[in-house]
């Protein structure tokens, strides 16, 4: 598979995930309890906590739109692609740095938290490598 096609597919996956989660945090596409279970979190559904998810959903939705723009023409949207690389790397570092808080606040087992950290680092690395390969192909091809 050509690097650019793989990069586009990956960006479409990122787009779909962020739009689905973003919408679901604001309208009941996927129940909040289901999403919490997906993340392995035990949550106290206070009105305050439920409300704070709505702005998060707006951010997620817009990130999905940015991912769509990058999926259409990834080499023209280097800043967006690298923005997602940075986001995934920061999310991994947050899982590491704030592991005690994540584990105690949401009752997420340490192993699950570390697995999430590895996943975020992998997403960052794969996206970086795919972009670099697509960029190199563009120069060569």
**Which helix (H) or strand (E) is 41 found in, with range?**
none
Q: 140 lies in a domain? A: no
Q: 79 lies in a domain? A: yes
Question: How high is the pLDDT of residue 95?
Answer: 96
pLDDT digits (tens, 9 = 90+) for 107-118: 999 999 999 999
pLDDT digits (tens, 9 = 90+) for 73-102: 999 999 999 999 999 999 999 999 999 999
Q: 141 lies in a domain? A: no
CA distances from 6 to 33, 38, 62, 110 (A): 33, 26, 22, 32
Burial class (CB in 10 A: 0-12, 13-18, 19+), 58: middle
Q: 61 lies in a domain? A: yes
pTM of the model: 0.93
- Could you give the number of structural domains in the chain? 1
pLDDT digits (tens, 9 = 90+) for 9-42: 999 999 999 999 999 999 989 999 999 999 999 9
Q: Which domain holds residue 75?
A: 3-135
């Amino acid at each position: 598979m050509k690097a650019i096609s793989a990069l586009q597919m990956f960006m479409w996956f990122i787009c779909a995930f962020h739009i689905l989660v973003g919408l679901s945090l604001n309208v009941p596409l996927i129940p909040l309890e289901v999403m919490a279970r997906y993340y392995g979190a035990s949550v106290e559904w206070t009105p305050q906590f439920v409300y704070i998810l709505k702005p998060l959903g707006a951010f997620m939705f817009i990130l999905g739109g940015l991912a769509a723009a990058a999926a259409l023409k990834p080499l023209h949207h280097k800043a967006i692609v690298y923005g997602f690389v940075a986001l995934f790397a920061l999310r991994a570092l947050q899982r590491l740095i704030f592991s005690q808080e994540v584990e105690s606040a949401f009752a997420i087992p340490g192993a699950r938290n570390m697995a999430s950290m590895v996943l975020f680092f992998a997403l960052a690395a794969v996206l970086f490598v795919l972009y670099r390969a697509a960029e190199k192909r563009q120069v060569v091809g």
